[in-house]
Amino acid sequence: MKLSTVACLATLASSAAAFAIPAARAPSMTLSMSTTIEARPFEKGPRVVMDQLPILYVYDHCPFCVRVRLALGVKNVKYLIHFLANDDVATPTALVGKKIAPIFEIPEEKNRHGRVP
Ligand SMILES: N[C@@H](CCC(=O)N[C@@H](CS)C(=O)NCC(=O)O)C(=O)O
């Protein structure tokens, strides 16, 4: 081994030692690192039905829209779904000001300009 390598290793070793916790200050308890989590079957919560059903605007090719549908399903929320055509610029623009999906419209919370808040 070259002398420069030995010097380098020695420097590394002393640097590493600086990060070690002195024995006197090291925690005495043992750390449990179990990663086993007991799986429980999914239990669906109560059905959420608003007076006016919310509307979810989606593209059929949109992964973000699928995530929202999944979340609403898990939360058991009843909603209407509106599949937007990809060339429909007017509908999303009227709702949120630009062409994008998903859009979740809660009729009760629609502001007075007719837009989704
Ligand atoms: N950050 C947004 C992103 C949504 C998004 O990018 N959606 C795409 C479809 S997957 C979109 O609307 N793109 C505009 C377009 O298709 O013209 C979200 O998570 O909802």
Strand 103-105's sheet: what is its strand order?
80-83, 55-58, 103-105
Domain of 61? 55-109
Q: What's the pLDDT score for residue 36?
A: 85
Q: Print pLDDT tens along the chain (117 aa).
A: 555 555 544 554 555 565 565 666 656 666 677 788 889 999 999 999 999 999 999 999 999 999 999 999 999 999 999 999 999 999 999 999 999 999 999 998 876 556 777
Q: What number does the ligand 1 atom closest to the CA of 99 have?
A: 17
Tokens of 29: 């308890």
Ligand 1 in contact with 64 (CB < 6 A)?
Answer: yes
Ligand 1 within 6 A of CB of 96: no
Interval between CA 30 and ligand 1 midpoint (Å): 48
Per-residue pLDDT at 29: 65
CA pair distance 56, 116, nearest whole angstrom = 11
Distance 79 CA to ligand 1 centre (A): 20
Query: Number of structural domains, the chain?
Result: 1
Give the model's pLDDT for residue 109. Answer: 86
Distance, in Å, from the CA atom of 117 to the CA atom of 114, rounded to the nearest integer, reads 9
Q: Which pLDDT score, from 0 to 100, does residue 60 have?
A: 97
Instruction: Give domain status of residue 79, yes or no.
Output: yes
